[in-house]
Every structure is written in structure tokens, then in C-alpha cells.
Amino acid sequence: MFYNNIDPVLLRIGYLEIRYYGIIYALGFVIAYYFLLYFVKNKKLKLSSEEIADLLFYLLIGIVIGARLFEVLFYNLPYFIQNPVEIFKVWHGGLSFHGGLVGAVVAALIFCRKKKLKFYALADAVVFPLSLALALGRIGNFINGELYGTVTSVPWCVKFRGIPSCRHPSQLYESFKNLLIFGILWFIKDDRIEGKKLPPGFLFWTFVVLYALFRFAIESFKEPIVQLGFFSMGELLCIVMFGVGVVFMWKLFKKP
């Protein structure tokens, strides 16, 4: 058994709190910047360093709005109706990945249209830092003591502060899942199918399908925030995500 007594606040200066979660979130964008710069140098993206910074700003806005919107609407609407000010306190945690992905896609589409770039070329590059950033983000959830797992007696169970019983560290399971997705994508990024390069969008939709599959499997170890009949909200969103990914993957290979 491990006792999680980590203070989620790294530093307090008066009313100002610097939290590990916020630092990790910022680190994710730093990783994204250097990964995109890597793809630019390898001539897989046509962006200047200034345009990369602009893209990350677009993504930041899209991710935060989308992630918070899904969290409010699908996971805890009654609470946020009673406490509307909490909607804006994103540093307290509570960001839905599925909403963040939708927000990021919308932001990227707007950016690509403005810069006259091909969306799939950008999306295929972004999934690499995205996978790593998600892995770090789940560690942030672990530090916050949120999104914990179901009650268990496995040797590696974690007792979170203020939470009864020992729990699956499902945040760490998800962190490992995201690292695994990164490894798979990195392994196949230069592969060929029937002697041809992978079609544009293949890596992006592979990420979507893999994330949905792995996340669905891990959901059974998580304490569900919202249960809708047989499935949790997270499982239902993963089913939708998987279905959309499979359809678009099929369309990629249907093209001559």
C-alpha cells in the first residue's frame, strides 16, 4: 500500500498558488513546441517557429474550452450549476480529455484554414507530443488525488488523502497507456503499407482508435464519475470515439 499525501500546491505566495498540475500542463506545451520544431526540421511540416507558437496558442484555447465544457456538461453539471464560479477554476482539475480533443481539432482546423495548411499533416505530428503530454497530465491527476480507481487490495493500491479505502492508481495506469500509444505511433511512423507511405491522417486516427480501446479497458478500474446504465460516461465517450476513428480510418484506405 502507498499513501498519497502529496500536497498538490508546490508554492503559495499570498493568495497565489502554484500547483503541480498547472506546471505539468505548461510542460506539455513546451514538449509540443520542440516536437513540432523537430518535424519542421525534418521537413514533415511547413511552419516557422512563430507559427508553431501561434498554433500552440490556438490549441491551448481550444483544449481548455473543450475540456472544461465537456467536464461541465457531461460529468458534473448539477455541481457547476450550483457553483458557477468553479467553471473557471481549471487549476482545481476537472478537464475532460474527450472535450479537449474536440476543442483541439476545432482549433487546429481554424489554424490550418487561416495558414492554408493540410490538417492531416499537422494532426499526424501533434499526436506525438499529445501522447506524452497526456501521460504527464495523468501524473498531475495522481498528485491531485483525483480520478482515482475503484477499491482494491492489490499490493500496489494507493490510499488517497480524504478518500476511504485503498484504490487502484488508475491515473498511473492511464499514464502508462499514453506512453504505450506514443511508443506504438513512433514505431510505425515511417512504415509503409503495400510499398506506399502511410496515408495522411493514418497516425492521427490510429491515436484516436488506440486511445479509445485502451481507455475503455482502464475505465473498469476507475471510480466512475457518472454511471449511465451499464456503462460509465467515460466508456460511452470511448465507444463514440472508437466508432468515429474506425469510420475515418476506413475512409483513408477506401481512397484510391
Q: Where are the domains of the chain?
A: 2-254
Q: Is the pLDDT of residue 256 over 70?
A: no
Give the pLDDT confidence score for residue 92 in this predicted structure.
Answer: 64
Helix, strand, coil shares, percent, the chain, to 5: 65, 10, 25
SS3 57: helix
Instruction: Tally Cβ neighbours within 10 Å of residue 237.
Output: 23
Give the pLDDT confidence score for residue 194 in this predicted structure.
Answer: 59
Average pLDDT over the chain reads: 89
Give the pLDDT confidence score for residue 112 in this predicted structure.
Answer: 95
Cell output for 125: 505530428
Give CA 194 to chain center in angstroms: 32
How far is Cα 3 from Cα 184, in angstroms, rounded to an integer? 32
93-109 pLDDT tens trace: 677 888 999 999 999 99
Q: How confident is the model over 15-35, as a mean pLDDT? A: 88
28-81 pLDDT tens trace: 989 999 999 999 998 888 898 899 999 999 999 999 899 888 888 888 777 788
Percent residues over pLDDT 90 in the chain: 57
Residue that the C-alpha cell 513546441 belongs to: 33
Give the pLDDT confidence score for residue 11 in this predicted structure.
Answer: 87
